[in-house]
């Protein structure tokens, strides 16, 4: 039986791209009733076995084993998260950036940080802004993340991002209005995804993406264009897991005096020592403390 990739799920239908099919060629399928009985649901990104039906449509018979599974957005087999944050309009928000990184680490994906809208750095502020951009890039690269500065208007960095996506299923994520659709349009001319202007009053864009769909690039990349999030909660994450989602804490934390150290007040904490010594950035530790408090507060409420 033929195999393929679910590239879109909409109104109870699964659009399967058969192996070796041309870009954009899909078979509209229904899922078998047995999935519901088993509590399974096919996801965008799933590799599946399907049976063609006489009317040119098909039935999804089997979901092949998944490498990864995301709950929000609901995508299977993504291995790379492309995290987009703008340098301007809205201004760069490192606390929110770190919050997204926590969720991506918890999901077990690799991360590519894209700092977008480089073209909006105004000339009279360019020295200060360029300095800040360089500092942020250096901070996250030292932690171990890959960082690319991009502009969809000038095309700067878009080729680099595109080549990084080759052969991967990637999830585009980040704050609303930072240029996700614009970057995808720049990488795939003719795509024409809907984009919206930023509300200057709110400092954020309106969501332009309504459902999860894999967009295919000609280099074998599939990009899940997903709704932007303006906020994230920590309901899926245990407070004891938080420190492992700060990747620069992991090795250092092994030297802490107490097993299960919260890195907040325990004596002999190597993570706090590393902050004092400048090995761990103050901003990262401050956000860790804030997230820890936020999670404890949520736990008390629920």
Distance of CA 100 to the CA centre of its chain: 7
Is 29 labeled as ligand-binding?
no
Is 114 labeled as ligand-binding?
no
Is 245 labeled as ligand-binding?
no
Is 152 labeled as ligand-binding?
no
Is 116 labeled as ligand-binding?
yes
Is 177 labeled as ligand-binding?
yes
Q: How far apart are CA 71 and CA 93, in angstroms?
A: 24
CA of 119: how far to CAs of 116, 122, 149, 154, 181, in Å? 9, 8, 10, 7, 16
Is 11 labeled as ligand-binding?
no
Is 130 labeled as ligand-binding?
no
**In a 3-state reduction of DSSP, which class is residue 89?**
coil
CA of 253: how far to CAs of 57, 231, 238, 248, 290, in Å? 54, 28, 17, 9, 19
Is 106 labeled as ligand-binding?
no
Cα angle vertex 226, ends 221, 232, to 5°?
125
Q: How far apart are CA 14 and CA 25, in angstroms?
A: 13
Is 178 labeled as ligand-binding?
yes
Give the residue carrying structure tokens 């928000």: 93
Is 263 labeled as ligand-binding?
yes
Both tokens of residue 243? 């420190």
Element (H, E) at 41: none
Is 12 labeled as ligand-binding?
no
| DSSP letter (8 states) at residue 77 | S
Q: Which residues contact 251 (CB under 8 A, 6 or more apart)?
A: none
Element (H, E) at 110: strand 110-116
**In a 3-state reduction of DSSP, which class is residue 8?**
strand
Both tokens of residue 193? 């995804």
Is 290 labeled as ligand-binding?
no
Binding residues for Zn(2+): 256, 261, 263, 269
Binding residues for GTP: 116-119, 174-182
Binding residues: 116-119, 174-182, 256, 261, 263, 269
């Amino acid at each position: 039986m033929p195999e393929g990739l679910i590239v879109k799920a909409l109104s109870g239908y699964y659009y399967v791209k058969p192996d070796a099919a041309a870009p954009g060629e899909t078979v509209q399928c229904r899922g078998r009733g047995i999935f519901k009985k088993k509590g399974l649901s096919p996801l965008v990104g799933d590799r599946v076995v399907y049976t063609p039906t006489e009317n040119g449509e098909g039935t999804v018979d089997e979901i092949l084993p998944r490498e990864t599974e995301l709950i929000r957005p609901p995508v299977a087999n993504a291995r790379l998260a492309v995290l987009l944050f703008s340098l301007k309009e809205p201004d760069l928000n490192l606390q929110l950036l770190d919050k997204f990184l926590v969720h991506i680490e918890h999901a077990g994906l690799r991360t590519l940080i894209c700092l977008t809208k480089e073209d909006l750095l105004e000339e009279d502020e360019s020295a200060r802004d360029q300095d800040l951009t360089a500092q942020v890039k250096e901070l996250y690269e030292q932690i171990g993340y890959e960082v690319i500065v991009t502009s969809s208007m000038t095309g700067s960095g878009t080729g680099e991002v595109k080549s990084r996506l080759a052969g991967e299923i990637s999830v585009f994520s980040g704050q609303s209005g930072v240029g996700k659709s614009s970057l995808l349009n720049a990488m795939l001319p003719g795509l024409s995804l809907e984009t919206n202007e930023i509300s200057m009053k709110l400092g954020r864009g309106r969501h332009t993406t309504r459902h999860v769909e894999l967009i295919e690039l000609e280099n074998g990349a599939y990009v899940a264009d997903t709704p932007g999030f303006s906020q994230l909660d920590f309901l899926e994450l245990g407070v004891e897991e938080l420190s492992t989602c700060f990747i620069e804490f992991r090795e250092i934390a092994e030297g802490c005096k107490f097993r299960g150290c919260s890195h907040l007040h325990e004596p002999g904490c190597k993570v706090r020592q590393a902050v004092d010594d400048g090995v761990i950035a103050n901003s990262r530790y401050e956000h860790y403390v804030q997230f820890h408090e936020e999670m404890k507060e949520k736990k008390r409420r629920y």
